[in-house]
Every structure is written in C-alpha cells, then in structure tokens.
Amino acid sequence: MAAPIVLASCSLAAPLLSTSSWEVDGAASTAFAAAPLSIAWRFLTTFTSHPLFEQRMIQTCSECQPYWTTELGKHFLFMRGINFIDLTGDYERGPAYMSLMSEGALVPHKSLAGKLPKKVAHHDQLTGSIFKNISDAGPRANLKEFTSFRTRYYRSSTGRESQAWLLKTVSKLAKQRSDLNISVSEWPHAWGQNSIILHIDGSDSKASQEEGITIVGAHQDSTNLLPFLAAPGADDDGSGTVTILEALRALLANKHWKPVTDVEFHWYSAEEGGLLGSQEVVRGYADRNAVVKGMLQQDMTAFVKQGTEERVGLPTDFIDEDLRQFVQLLIKEYLDIPAVDTKLGYAASDHASWNKAGYRSVFAIEAPFDDCNLRRIHTTSDTFDHPEFSFDHLVKFVKLTSAFIVELSGWEK
C-alpha cells in the first residue's frame, strides 16, 4: 500500500525537496574550493548521478499538476504520508499520451469489457469444493519465507532475490495442472525486481477476446520509511501476495476447475515507488488493446485492530463502481463478515494504475482505512507474530479472491 502514515517529525523534509537548500558549512566550502577542479568535478558528477538524484515526474492528487522531483524527493513525500503516482513513464511517451491518461481515456473501458454478473452462478462449486481446499497452512509457510528477506525494496538486491523466490513458487504451482494452458512470465523492469504474471487460458477463446481477462493482483515489494532499514512487509503486502497465491493453489487443486474466459494473477514490483510496476504492465496491455473484464487488488488483508470486528474495507474512490458492487455481492454471498465503505485517497495501490488508464478495477482491504495496520506498515514491526495479525482474516480474502475469479471468468461445464 502507498504511504498513509503522516509523521509530524518529518516536517523538516519539505525544504529538502529543493536543491537550493543543500548547503555545506564554511570549512567544507573552503576545502571544496581549494580542491583541484578535476576532483571537484568528479565529486559533483558522482553526487548527482546517484540513483537518489534521478529526475522523476510525480502527481500527488488527480487534480494536481504533475511536477518534477528526484528519487530522494519521492522518499520525503513518502515519509510525510503523501501518496503519489510516478508518471515518468507516461511523460516519456509524450503529451498526447499524458492527456489520455489524465482523462482515464486510454482505453474505452466499459465499451470493451464484458458485462458483470448481477447474481452468483457458482455457489455450489465454490462452497462445496474450492473453499474446502483453502487453509492457512500455505499462507503461513509462504509468508514466513517471504518475510525472511531483509527487505523487498524494489531497488535492492534482496528485492530481486525475493522476486526470484516468488517466481519459483508460482512456477511450481503452475505445473500442477498439465491439462490447463498456463504460462508464467516476468515483466522486466529497469530497476531489477520484475513483476510476475501467471496466465491461464479460458476454454472459450472467442469469449475471452470479447469479454476480457479476469485479473487479481498484489504487490510483492516492501519498504521502510527509511529504505535502508529492514522492511519485512508481512501485511504490506506480504499478506496480499500470499492471499492470491493460496487462491491460485486452491483453484488448481480442484481438477474440475477450468475457467471459460482467461484469468491472470499479477504480482507487481515497485508499488511503493509510485505504482511503477503496475503502470508499466498497464501500458503494455493498453498498447496491445487488451480487454480486461475486471481487476481486483489485494493489498493488506490480515490485520484486525484490537477492539474492532472483522470487516472488509471497500474503497469508494478511484475504483469502478459497477465492479465494486459486484465485489460487494460476493462478500455478502460468500463471507461471514460485512463489507464497509471506506476511502483511501489517490494512488492507494496498484488498482489505481488500471483505473487511471480507463480499465475496470477495484480494491478490497483488511478494514476501513482508520482501522487498518497504519502504525506497523513501512517499519521493521510489520511482522506476522503479533496478535492483531490474523491468518483467519486473511483466509477470508482468499475466499473472496477465488470467488471473484470463478464468478467473473466462469466455470466450464
């Protein structure tokens, strides 16, 4: 999830966004001035070529004018709890592309996507078989392994290592069903931690072309408010990562399940960097005129705040309202906890990348925003060994994910 924590102590960060505020004391200035010009030039070029000083174009709200900052400037925004989307990739494609993105008109979304069901059609298959395959054993084991990496920060070596582990885990699951046409691929990114996409062909290729792909997603990266510190990211978004992993495992374990239309599972890189990974994926899908029936993001699915009841938070902002009502129907039909409306603001998670382009997307989260895991995420304390982290709660999101896939993509008779 993006940066919801506001730290008053970070108010000093704002002036640092301006390069004019970087100064050195008198002694350092004298020494620098006395140094040979070649040494001074080498120092300046090394300093400014560091990845932290890479120029990035960002936007902090849908009505705000995009502006240039640096990678370091993004970190200061993150520390101050300001959500943002990194639009550099859009900018590099030119003003016309930027305009279409800003209007949510890159794809003519509802005219392309298939109609959404008004009632459930696969209650018996889901409750009688798929849900019985779901347990917390897989999520527990996978999350223990996933959080063992010091950080999954998208620019770090351990971020690449955690992605390699996840790719291996997803690929192993895919091999369980030789009767299905399943592909697992990496979406390459310049920063090294690649997004992962698992695609399952539906039984009806014509319906898939006309109605579109059903997509569920989570983000694999983690971060600390200070990115050089450890970031176990158990809830944000290790929980979402293992939620859709378990849904995939449970579906594939049922030998009778075969979707009618195409299904995909996405694990995005660099969500914490301004939705970078999912934006690159969305641009690629738009470039090939891909039709998407609906996209569900699972980001933070395991926290139950002490003194509150279990609920599913359903954001009402920056989502597709028709798809949100469909998810609400699924929660009412298949879960024993209620859905509660909430707002998360701009750039809350990767569903926003799809929404920005004009695709149907929606987000389900562990609770209404104020009752989410706001104090632990983006710190070394985002672990699963505390009483408010609930694998029972997480399993309910596994059921929701499974229901979303089956009810939207169908079940071949």
Residue 331 contacts by C-beta under 8 Å, 6 or more apart in sequence?
A: 312, 314, 337, 338, 339, 364, 400
Out of 236, 246, 320, 366, which one is annotated catalytic? Answer: 236
| ∠ CA 124-130-132, rounded to 5° | 100
Out of 86, 246, 299, 320, which one is annotated catalytic? Answer: 299
Instruction: Verify whether residue 299 is a known catalytic residue.
Output: yes
Out of 271, 371, 382, 407, which one is annotated catalytic? Answer: 271
Contact in structure between 275 and 85 (CB atoms under 8 Å): yes
Contact in structure between 219 and 272 (CB atoms under 8 Å): yes
Out of 75, 109, 189, 378, which one is annotated catalytic? Answer: 378
Instruction: Verify whether residue 371 is a known catalytic residue.
Output: no
User: Tokens standing for 339?
Assistant: 């859905």
Instruction: Verify whether residue 407 is a known catalytic residue.
Output: no
Distance between CA atoms of 333 and 396, rounded to whole angstroms? 12
User: Tokens standing for 330?
Assistant: 């699924």
Instruction: Verify whether residue 86 is a known catalytic residue.
Output: no
Contact in structure between 215 and 370 (CB atoms under 8 Å): no
3-state secondary structure the chain: CCCCCCCHHHHHHHHHHCHHHCCCCHHHHHHHHHCCHHHHHHHHHHHHCCHHHCEEEEECCCCCCCEEEEHHHHHHHHHCCCCCEECHHHHCCCHHHHHHHHCCCCCCHHHHCCCCCCCCCCHHHHHHHHHHHCCCHHHHHHHHHHCCCCECCCCCHHHHHHHHHHHHHHHHHHCCCCCCCEEEEEECCCCCCCEEEEEECCCCHHHHHHHCEEEEEEECCCCCCCCCCCECCHHHHHHHHHHHHHHHHHHHHCCCCCCCCCEEEEEECCHHHCCHHHHHHHHHHHHCCCCEEEEEEECCCCECCCCCCCCEEEECCCCCHHHHHHHHHHHHHHCCCCEEEECCCCCCCCHHHHHHHCCCEEEEECCCHHHCCCCCCCCCCCCCCCCCECHHHHHHHHHHHHHHHHHHHCCCC
| ∠ CA 380-382-384, rounded to 5° | 125
Instruction: Verify whether residue 161 is a known catalytic residue.
Output: no
Instruction: Verify whether residue 246 is a known catalytic residue.
Output: no
Out of 75, 109, 189, 219, which one is annotated catalytic? Answer: 219
What residues are labeled active site? Answer: 219, 236, 271-272, 299, 378
